[in-house]
Amino acid sequence: MEHKNHIASITTSSRPLANFHPNVWGDRFLVYSPQPCKDGEKGLVEKLKEEVKVELKEASNDIIGLLKLVDAIQRLGIEYHFEEEIDQAKMQVNYILWWKDLEVPTKLFYARDRMVECYFWIMGAYFEPKYAKGRHITTKMIAIASLFDDTFDAYATFEELELFMVAIERWSMSCLDEIPEYMRGFYKALLEAFEDIEEYMIKKGTLYRLDYGIEAMKVMARDYFTEIKWREEKYKPKSEEYMHVATASSAYTSLIICSFLGMGDCVTKEAFEFVLSLQDIVKATLNICRLTDDIVGHEFERKREHIPSMVECYTEEHNKSKEEAVDELLKRIETAWKLINEAFLKPTKIPTPLLTRILNFARVIEVIYSKGDWYTHVGPEMQKLITQLLIDPVP
């Protein structure tokens, strides 16, 4: 009891808060109220029977429009004609409502409230309609990874994180009472998300994939915790040591693994091992993610207690200026892109659709981070991209 009271007594001022700005979209993507039935709806039945599949596809990038269309179909009593299409449309909006249930602005006020940006990110990894389930799974995972990142990096104490790591390794709902109250919601959400994945995989006969996904999330948490130990000890790693840990804590290995979970028969055990063994294309993508993020984000992170970024590691280790360090990191990013291109020119046992996921994760980093950290600071540029894709898409 003394131990828990000690945790509860920790003041907000003693935490490494980042003061992230709130969600810029308000409730635009999160609130939907069904409209009352209209007398004229009955006359649409025959037309909907002929056109509804096309309309469902066209509405796939408009969350509110999609919900309204599905609601109209269900009110008309013709949903049995379009069970598969409607299932895919509930899947798409499910994680939006799931995120709202986490109550991030109040219960996790210290974290970035970025569900819309997470969806945009994973749309960059795969936009094709046939990958709807994979997109659904990976969007939830990147959202949880973001909460992990901010909890480890911008709020939790070392003592709290030690308790959380025990819970992650045990991976059990029985651990809920053993971790701080504010962590319980997203820890429970993580386990429930994997319960849903397990149910889906049992139906598809791909249950062997589940352990890879769980282990991917554990690896990510372990590497976050290593960085926290460095922060506690005020340890300054060498460049290579930093990259070994920081590429893993970028969550990209975990997200690539998770992106395979909901894909088709092209995914094999060899594909997961290919990623986990950090083959050249995987390592190159991780490097692009970490170096691009560090170049644009290190100034913001220096405003609070934080481990050195690759920029600081390189300047100190090689006695270089910040400008010289950035030039070197840009060269490394260019080299990483060459490795990715080479991977598509060489024969490989890994099917092209899977290599394309890895490539696309690198591509989307170039969109979100090349001119600034648009995930953390959602300015006009990022808002314009999301508006063009999700609010005002080209007809």
Nearest to 57 by CA among 76, 35, 84: 84
Q: Tens digits of per-residue pLDDT, 13-31?
A: 667 676 778 888 776 665 5
Q: Tens digits of per-residue pLDDT, 183-194?
A: 999 999 999 999
Query: Quick one: pLDDT at residue 70?
Result: 77
Stretch 326-336: mean pLDDT: 95
Stretch 286-303: mean pLDDT: 80
Structural contact between residues 284 and 340, judged by C-beta atoms closer than 8 angstroms: yes
Query: Quick one: pLDDT at residue 8?
Result: 47
Give the residue with greater pLDDT, 1 vs 343.
343
Above 80 in pLDDT, residue 38?
Answer: no
Above 80 in pLDDT, residue 371?
Answer: yes
Q: Which two tokens stand for residue 121?
A: 């990110």
Q: What is the pTM of this model?
A: 0.82
Residue 302, amino acid: R
CA distance 132 to 359: 18
Confidence bin at 306 (pLDDT 50/70/90): low
- In whole angstroms, how far apart are CA 341 and each of 215, 272, 334, 363? 29, 21, 11, 12
Q: Tens digits of per-residue pLDDT, 240-279?
A: 888 888 887 778 999 999 999 999 899 999 999 999 999 9
Above 60 in pLDDT, residue 204?
Answer: yes
Please give the mean pLDDT across all residues of the chain. Answer: 84
Query: Quick one: pLDDT at residue 10?
Result: 58
Q: Which two tokens stand for residue 190?
A: 């993580």
Query: Quick one: pLDDT at residue 92?
Result: 63
Stretch 125-133: mean pLDDT: 88
Is residue 332 within a helix (H) or strand (E), and if so which, with residue range? helix 322-343
Stretch 5-11: mean pLDDT: 52
Structural contact between residues 297 and 258, judged by C-beta atoms closer than 8 angstroms: no
Q: Tens digits of per-residue pLDDT, 68-120?
A: 777 777 776 766 767 766 666 676 666 677 888 888 999 999 999 999 899 99
Stretch 49-62: mean pLDDT: 68
Burial 100-119 (b: 16+ CB within 10 A, else e): eebebeeebebbbbbbbbbb
Helices and strands (H and E) in the chain: how many:
18, 0
Q: Which two tokens stand for residue 360?
A: 């696309």
Above 90 in pLDDT, residue 286?
Answer: yes
Percent of the chain with pLDDT over 90: 51
